[in-house]
Each structure stands twice: as structure tokens, then as C-alpha cells.
Chain A
Amino acid sequence: MEFSDASMVPPDLQQPLSNFLLSLADDEFILGYWDSEWTGVAPTLEEDVACSSIAQDEIGHARLLYQEVAALTGSTPDQVAYDRTLSEYRQVQLVERRRGNWAFTCARRYLYETADQVRLASLTTSTYRPLVEAIGKIEREEVYHQMHSTAWLNRLANGTPTAYQLLTEALRQLWPDALGIFEPFENEDVLLRAGILPVPSAVLEQRWLGDIVPVFERLRLPLPIKKESPAVDSPALYIPTIVARTGGRRGQHSADFTDLWNQMTMVSRMEPGASW
């Protein structure tokens, strides 16, 4: 069963699908929003340009996905982006933290981009055709983000003692949120049965950790994960040794997001339906 467009989606699937698309879109939108704050104040001119371009890409990706939500719910991408209450946003808490210092921004980008690659790759076999088409576009652009964030993780980890120290401090703050990236989607069982979500979040999390654990080990970076081998022939299982911070997918957000929401929805609240 494949859904070729929004009109093919049965009524009982509309809400779970719409919230699922919002989850993917809000992650990109909110992270893009924070990263755009580096415009004009990034450590070097090149990074200024890079952060602005990445932010622009992410907000573009969010817009693509908001269009699909709008098609399902009979609204417009702008309404979907700005006319929601705080608890109607679906991003994970990792992306809604304030941008912090440069090391925090780079470390968060690395954690997010590596997880996003795993997620996007798994969604190329989704039964929701408009999503597969959007991802065909998004995935290739994200390769450049991944290159950029990998370069910075290595640069800071192998840089001066101060750079290494700032990076490890940032990672210690980030890990509880990072382990919430693969918090299950709302109605995940429904999405799995419909094939809209081809792989469970828990499996994706293991794939992601399989990608990044060797990198963190090589760079001697904080890694609150232990490896267990349940049986001789089965693959290693990565088990967090700290508690993940979750709730974003259910609309529970941090104070940082309240501030951001107040700022980014200000114009649409003052002048509903404004265009520019």
C-alpha cells in the first residue's frame, strides 16, 4: 500500500501522519532558527556564511515538509509554521536549546546531523510518496551539513586544550538531550503498521550509536554509552548510562523554546495573515 498524495490518506491516519511530518519539520525549523543567530557574529567570515547557508537550508527543508502538512490539514505552510501553540510543536529538546557557545553549536550540529542522516536514509522506503520525494531532495543537501559538522568536531577535538575542554563540556550538557533524538514518534505503532515509518525509532537509535560511538572513542570524547554483546553472533547493543531527556515529540518543551517561540511568532501574532 502506497499513499501517492495527501488525498489518499485515510482519515484515521491523517492526524498521526501530520504530527509525524511536523516532528521532522520542526526539528529542522527550530535548529535552523537558532543557527541563523550566528549570522554576523560567527567566529570567522567563512563560518558566518556557512551557518547562514545551513540555517537557510534547514528552514527550506522545514518549508517543504510544512507544505505537506498544509496539504493534509487544509492550511498554509506559514500557518503551520507560526500559528501553533507551544505544545503543538513536535521538535525534540536537543534542537530547542539556545545556541550556546561555538563548541556547543558545533557539538549539537554533529549529534543532530549524524542522527538525521540515519533517519533520512530509513525514510526513503516510506509508503508516503510526498515524503519520499521531499527526502530525495533533502538528503543530498544534508551531506554538506554532515561534512561541515564532522570537520568541526574533529577540529575542536584535536585542537588546543581549551577547544577540547569547551567541546567536552558542551557534550556533557548535550548528551541527555541527544539521547532523546530517537524518542518514539506519537502513534509510532500506527505509523509503522502503515509503512509510513519503515523502521522503529529504537532500531534507528542503535544504528546511529553504531555510527558515532567509534568516532567518540577515537577522539576521546565523553560517551555515556556502554556496549553489550547479548550473544556470540548478535551485534553489539549500545546502552545509555544516563537518563535521556524526552517529551519534545509529545509537545513538552523547555524554557528556551518558550523564549524562541515568543520571538519567532511575534509578527504573526501582532498581524495575523501578514505577508512580506
Chain B
Amino acid sequence: MSETRTRTNDGSLDEQLVWEALQTVPDPELPAISVVDMGIIRRIDIDEASSSIRVVITPTFSGCPALSQIQTSIAEKLRSLAKDVEVAVTMQQPWTSDMLSASARQKLSKVGIAPPPHVGRGPLLPMLTQHPLTCPHCGSQQTMLENPFGPTPCRAIAYCQHCHQPFEQFKPI
């Protein structure tokens, strides 16, 4: 594991430290991407007096089986910073694929998964049917969504008619 700071220079615990620590917690289904870059951290509350941290996260998909594992790994990581760690789940500001960080998008491309096109907050269906997907291998937009369901809830299977390769698409949602 990478070395993370457990205290700032003046010996205090601040939000920046918690963010740094969370940067090293991977998403269990896409280990190249941290929970921070996935965009699922909603807020961080710190109470230094009682040495407690409360982190609020939101799932990418509501049936995500990795959620409890994510809660556990966040709690384990943060226990080096504070005595009491609580990881709560909220549905406020629900996650959309637009919340992936720029760095997450680059990392997805590197592992051969096409990053999702920007979806905005409008109705999803017209966006899905009218915008072509981009092949991560050759960059062509002569592609088709083969199966909206893939190996994990957040991935779909698409096919490039230009280079004749199937590819995984991170689901726009």
C-alpha cells in the first residue's frame, strides 16, 4: 500500500488527510479506480475531540453487491486516522456516470473499458438511443450496444463494426 499521512504537520486531523487516505481505497470491481475518483464520496465529517470520522457514500448502482465491501475497506483504511469510523450510505444526490473524475476516465480507457459519454440530468432513454458509443480500440463511432448488461452492474457489452472488436462500455446512467 502507498504511504498515507495520518496527521498534518501541526499534528491535527483535517479533511484533506481523509481525502488522501480515501484516494488509496480501490473500487473492488474496478481496482484501477479509487472510491474518490469513482465519485461516490458525498461528505466527510470529522470530530477531532472524540477522534471520530463519518464518511457518507452513495452507491453507483442500487443493487451494487460491492457496497458493503466498500464500506468495510473505507472503515479499515480510516481507522489509522481516528478511533471511531462510521461509513453511512445516502441516496441524496444519486450517483450518475458524469461523476467519474477525469482521472477515472483515463484509467478506464487504459484497462480497455470505454468511459461513458456525458449524460446530463435529462431523460436517459433519448440520450442512450441517439448518441453513438466510441470504440476504445480504434476510436470509431460505428458501434452498437450488444447487451446493456455486462459482468458488473455498471458495465455493458458493445461491438465495434469498424475494427470488429467487442468492447466493454462503462454504462452511461
Contact = CB atoms under 8 A, between A and B. Distances in A.
Interface of A: 46, 49-50, 52-54, 56-61, 63-64, 130, 133-134, 136-138, 140-141, 143-144, 146-148
A52 B148 CA distance: 12
Closest 5 CB pairs of A and B: A60-B63, A53-B149, A50-B149, A137-B94, A60-B62
Contact of A148 (B96, B149, B153, B157): B149
Contacts of B150: 49, 53
Nearest to A132: B91
B62 A61 contact: yes
B124 interface: yes
A57 B146 CA distance: 19
Nearest to A57: B63
Contacts of B171: 144
Contact of B149 (A54, A64, A138, A146): A54
B91 A134 contact: yes
B64 interface: yes
A161 to B, nearest CB: 26
Nearest to A121: B123
B147 interface: yes
6 contacts: A140-B94, A140-B173, A143-B173, A144-B171, A147-B125, A147-B129
A63 B151 CA distance: 21
Nearest to A136: B94
Contacts of B64: 60
B92 A133 contact: yes
B151 A141 contact: no
B112 interface: no
B117 to A, nearest CB: 15
Instruction: Please report whether the interface of chain A is mostly helix, strand, loop or mixed according to DSSP.
Output: helix
B5 to A, nearest CB: 34
A134 B63 CA distance: 12
A64 B147 contact: no
Nearest to A50: B149
Contact of A50 (B61, B148, B173): B148
B149 A140 contact: no
Contacts of A57: 61-63, 153
Interface in B139-171: 146-151, 153, 157, 171
Contacts of B149: 46, 49-50, 52-54, 144, 148
A144 B63 contact: no
B132 interface: no
B62 A147 contact: no
A138 B173 CA distance: 11
Contacts of B95: 137
A46 B124 CA distance: 23
A114 to B, nearest CB: 12
Contacts of A49: 147, 149-151
A226 to B, nearest CB: 29
**In this complex, which of B61, B128, B129 has the most chain A Cβ atoms within 10 angstroms of its Cβ?**
B61
A56 B153 contact: yes
Nearest to B127: A143
B130 to A, nearest CB: 13
A64 B171 CA distance: 21
A137 B91 contact: yes
Contacts of B147: 46, 49-50
A138 B61 CA distance: 9
A182 to B, nearest CB: 22
Contacts of B129: 147
Nearest to A59: B63
Contacts of A59: 63
B125 A143 contact: yes
A221 B129 CA distance: 25
Given A49-B151, A140-B94, 15 more contacts: A46-B149, A49-B147, A53-B150, A53-B153, A56-B65, A60-B63, A64-B62, A130-B91, A133-B92, A136-B91, A137-B62, A143-B173, A147-B148, A148-B148, A148-B149
